[in-house]
Amino acid sequence: MKKAIAMLLATVMCTAMLTGCGSDSATNESSQAAESSVAETATATTEAAATTEAADKTEGGVLVFGTNAEFPPFEYVGDDGEPDGFDVALIKAVGEELGMEVQVENMEFDSLVSSIGNRIDGAIAGMTVTDERKEQVDFSNPYYEAVQFVIVSADSDIATADDLKNKTIGSQLGTTGMFLSEDIEGATAQTYNRAIDAVNDLVNGRVDAVIIDKNPAEVFNTKFEGKVKIIDGAEFGFETEEYAIALPKGSELVDQINQALEDLKADGTFDALVAQYIGE
């Protein structure tokens, strides 16, 4: 009787453990099934999370765009301490078209491209489309054409490209103005984190000229009236450039933003923002 009871208890215990007590094969099969179930669950969870994240980006989600609020009238710090300007208003209008909230983060211009896809979802900062930048990001369709201007002191005799040779030229770090300065024969390229600092150094005689885009040049010309003058970049052989919104490589937002830009131009919103911020 005791032997029969012991055998019965052993059978019950083996069944409860779900592994069988008779062979390693049964144990391995059960373990593999459990591992497979865990892996399938993990995969399903990952896919669901990815789907949710994608939905957040296209259905009422939040997009964070970087800018450099030192480039009026495209971006500057408003009276409330927050980034404002044409680019800021434009990207927020794009967000409304896409049904998403847009938050704008003020950053150093030179760090914008490297931050796209990790710290920020994109950048809008009067950024010129270049082949070098295309290697790191995708761009929307261009939304504005610009040309570089040269700012000099009011009594300067600089007027042509040859006049810039061997001069000290100020520009904002990472901008087209910096790249142009570096290519001028004998010139010393002096870079600044903020364009206003370059112009201040011009006014104080520490640089001979500043190269910057047309619209901010016009703003600084007004701000420092009588102390500086501006010269059209065409006099120096500077070519027209195109501004666009920078986005991560392969981002689906490129097509969505392009469509939003078309819609904003079609309904008059784009022109209204140009009139409000740029005055053209």
Give the chain's radius of gyration (CA, Å).
30
User: Count of alpha carbons within 13 Å of 80, Cβ hemisphere only?
Assistant: 4
Q: What is the pLDDT along the chain (280 residues), one digit of tens a residue?
A: 433 434 433 443 333 333 333 334 444 444 444 444 434 444 343 333 333 343 345 556 999 999 999 999 999 999 999 999 999 999 999 999 999 999 999 999 999 999 999 999 999 999 999 999 999 999 999 999 999 999 999 999 999 999 999 999 999 999 999 999 999 999 999 999 999 999 999 999 999 999 999 999 999 999 999 999 999 999 999 999 999 999 999 999 999 999 999 999 999 999 999 999 998 6
Q: Tell me the backbone φ, ψ of residue 5, rounded to 5 degrees.
A: -65, -40
What are the tokens at 239? 């070519």
Residues 186 and 206: their CA atoms lie apart, in Å, by: 17
Residues 6+ positions from 244 with CB-CB distance below 8 Å: 127, 129, 139, 140, 141, 142, 143
- Report whether 209 contacts 184 (CB < 8 A): no
